[in-house]
C-alpha cells in the first residue's frame, strides 16, 4: 500500500511516489454511503498530458427486509446507468438462475433456503457489463410458541399463571399480550379468561397463539359452632354456622352415628352426654377436590353445674311445686338467660333476662317434673322443679 486517505470533499488525491512507466497500480475506492454515482480519475504528471477515465459506483442489491417464509421475496437493483438492450441475470444462492429485462426479481412462497447472497450480471445485448452483489438476504421463519406450564385461577383469587417457550427464527423476540400484560414469556396473578400472545422475531416474522386460564373452584372448609352458647346439654339444639368458600356441596358428620347432613347451616342435638367429633366436608366443582374441618363438641347431662362464684344456695326458685308462675332469684347476680328442659333433655323454652330476679310463665306446660337452667354473668347452674 502506497497511500490511504479519506475525505468528504468532492476531490480526493492519491499519491504514488516514484511511479514507473509500464507498472500496473490497483486503486480501491470504497463507497461508504451506498449511493450511486460516478468517479472521475484524472492523471496529472508533467511533461505528460492529462488523461481521464470514468468509473461508475454501483449500489448493492436490496430486498424487503421483513420477508418471512411463504411471502414474496422482492429483490431490486437501482441501475444508475441503463445501457441499450439491457438485461439482468440473477444467480440465486439456492441454485436457480433468472433473466429479467428490469432490475427486479420477485420470488413467491419464499423459504429459508432462499437466504444468502445474490449475484446480478448486467448485459447490454450480448456484452457483459458489471457484476453486482447483495448483502446477506435472510428469509425469516415464523416463531413457534409452545405452552410450557399453566395453572388455573382458584376460587376468584387471581392466582392463575402461564409460561411459554419460543423457538425458531432469530432472537431477541418481542412479546405482546392481549389483554395488555408484561412483555415476557411468563404471566402470573391471572384471572380466568383468554390470553392472546403475539411473538415477533428480530426478522419481523410474527406468530400468534391464544391460551385459556380456567377457573377452578377449590373449596375451603370453615364453620363455627353456635356462637351464642359456650356449653351444651343433652337434647339442646346446636347451630353450626357455615363460613366455607367455593364449596358446591357440604357433608356434616356429627360423630354420634346419625346420618350425614347436607344442609348449608345444619342444626343437631345429642341424646347422650360426651365429647363428639364434628367434621365438615366441603366439596368443590364437579366433585373435584375436597376440604375438611374438624371441631369437638362437649355435651353434658342436665344437672347442677357450678361455675365461678355461682353457688347453689344463691339460686332460689319458688313456689316449688308451682302451678302458673315460677319466680327465680339469684342473690346479687344478674340473670342473662333461663332455659326450661324436660327430663329427657329436650329444650322447651329459652327466655332472655337482665335482672337478678324474674318470673317464668308455666301456663301451657303439662304437670310434671322439669329442669331449669339459669345462666348468669358469673356462671350457670341447674335445678329441678315440679309443675302442678
Q: How many residues does the chain have?
A: 388
Q: Is residue 105 part of a domain?
A: yes
Q: What is the domain range of residue 178?
A: 144-216
Question: Domain ends where: 175, 194, 216?
Answer: 216
Strand pairing class (194-200; 206-212) = antiparallel
Instruction: Give kind and range of the element (H or E) at residue 48.
Output: none
Q: Give the domain CATH number at 244.
A: 2.60.40.10
The verdict on 296 and 323 lying in the same domain is no
Q: Which residues contact 78 (CB under 8 A, 6 or more apart)?
A: 36, 59, 62, 103
Cα distance between residue 75 and residue 62, in whole Å: 6
pLDDT in tens, 157-203: 788 999 999 998 888 999 999 999 899 999 999 999 999 999 999 99
pLDDT < 70: residue spans in the chain: 1-15, 19, 21, 29-58, 81, 227-230, 285-289, 302-313
Q: Is residue 305 part of a domain?
A: no
Residue 142 pLDDT: 94
Concatenate the DSSP letters of all residues of 18-37 into one string. Answer: T--TT---------SS---E
Q: Give the domain CATH number at 377.
A: 2.60.40.3080
Cα distance between residue 293 and residue 282, in whole Å: 9
Strand pairing class (160-167; 144-151) = antiparallel
Question: Domain ends where: 133, 164, 194?
Answer: 133
Largest CA distance in the chain: 157
Residue 306 pLDDT: 39
Residue 150 pLDDT: 93
The verdict on 207 and 261 lying in the same domain is no
Question: Domain ends where: 165, 197, 216?
Answer: 216
Residue with cell 438485461: 87
Number of folded domains that form the chain? 5
The verdict on 99 and 155 lying in the same domain is no
Q: Is 371 exposed, middle or buried, given 0-12, 13-18 or 19+ CB atoms closer than 10 A?
A: buried
The verdict on 363 and 322 lying in the same domain is yes
Single out the residue of 80, 90, 75 nearest to residue 120, CA to CA: 90
The verdict on 202 and 227 lying in the same domain is no
Could you tell me if 237 and 226 are in contact, meaning their C-beta atoms sit under 8 angstroms apart? no
> In Å, what is the CA distance from 275 to each residue of 84, 156, 298, 301, 345?
111, 37, 4, 12, 16
Q: Is residue 383 part of a domain?
A: yes
Q: Give the domain CATH number at 161.
A: 2.60.40.1080
Its pTM stands at: 0.50
Q: Which residues contact 41 (CB under 8 A, 6 or more apart)?
A: 27, 52, 53, 54, 55
Residue 267 pLDDT: 94
> In Å, what is the CA distance from 238 to each residue of 254, 278, 288, 353?
11, 12, 30, 21
Residue 287 pLDDT: 53
Q: Is residue 306 part of a domain?
A: no
How many C-alpha atoms does 370 have within 13 Å on its Cβ side?
A: 27
Residue 83 pLDDT: 72
The verdict on 29 and 80 lying in the same domain is no
The verdict on 49 and 84 lying in the same domain is no
Amino acid at each position: 500500500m502506497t497511500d490511504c486517505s479519506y475525505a468528504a470533499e468532492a476531490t480526493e488525491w492519491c499519491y504514488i511516489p516514484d511511479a514507473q512507466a509500464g507498472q500496473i497500480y490497483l486503486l480501491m475506492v470504497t463507497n461508504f454511503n451506498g449511493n450511486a454515482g460516478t468517479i472521475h480519475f484524472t492523471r496529472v504528471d508533467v511533461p505528460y498530458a492529462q488523461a481521464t477515465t470514468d468509473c461508475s459506483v454501483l449500489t448493492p442489491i436490496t430486498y424487503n427486509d421483513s420477508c418471512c417464509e411463504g411471502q414474496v421475496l422482492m429483490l431490486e437493483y437501482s441501475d444508475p446507468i441503463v445501457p441499450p438492450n439491457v438485461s439482468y441475470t440473477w444467480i440465486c444462492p439456492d441454485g436457480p438462475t433468472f433473466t429479467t429485462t428490469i432490475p427486479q426479481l420477485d420470488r413467491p412462497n419464499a423459504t429459508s433456503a432462499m437466504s444468502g447472497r445474490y449475484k446480478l450480471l448486467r448485459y447490454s445485448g450480448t456484452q457483459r457489463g458489471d457484476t453486482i452483489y447483495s448483502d446477506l438476504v435472510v428469509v425469516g421463519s415464523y416463531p413457534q410458541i409452545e405452552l410450557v406450564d399453566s395453572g388455573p385461577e382458584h376460587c376468584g383469587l387471581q392466582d392463575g399463571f402461564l409460561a411459554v417457550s419460543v423457538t425458531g427464527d432469530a432472537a431477541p423476540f418481542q412479546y405482546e399480550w392481549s389483554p395488555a400484560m408484561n412483555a415476557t414469556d411468563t404471566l402470573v396473578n391471572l384471572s380466568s379468561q383468554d390470553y392472546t400472545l403475539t411473538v415477533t422475531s428480530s426478522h419481523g416474522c410474527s406468530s400468534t397463539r391464544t391460551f385459556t386460564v380456567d377457573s377452578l373452584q377449590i373449596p375451603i372448609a370453615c364453620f363455627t359452632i353456635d356462637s351464642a352458647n359456650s356449653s351444651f346439654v343433652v337434647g339442646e339444639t346446636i347451630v353450626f354456622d357455615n363460613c366455607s368458600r367455593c364449596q358446591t356441596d357440604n357433608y356434616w358428620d356429627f360423630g354420634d352415628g346419625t346420618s350425614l347432613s347436607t344442609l348449608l347451616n345444619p342444626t343437631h342435638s345429642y341424646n347422650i352426654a360426651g365429647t363428639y367429633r364434628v367434621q365438615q366436608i366441603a366439596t368443590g366443582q364437579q366433585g373435584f377436590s375436597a376440604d375438611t374441618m374438624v371441631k369437638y363438641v362437649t355435651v353434658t347431662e342436665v344437672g347442677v353445674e357450678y361455675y365461678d362464684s355461682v353457688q347453689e344456695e344463691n339460686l332460689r326458685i319458688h313456689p316449688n311445686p308451682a302451678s302458673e308462675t315460677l319466680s327465680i332469684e339469684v342473690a346479687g347476680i344478674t340473670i342473662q338467660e333461663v332455659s326450661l328442659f324436660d327430663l329427657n333433655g329436650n329444650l322447651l323454652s329459652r327466655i332472655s333476662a337482665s335482672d337478678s330476679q324474674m318470673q317464668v310463665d308455666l301456663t301451657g306446660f303439662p304437670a310434671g317434673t322439669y329442669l331449669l337452667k339459669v345462666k348468669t354473668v358469673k356462671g350457670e347452674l341447674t335445678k329441678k322443679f315440679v309443675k302442678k
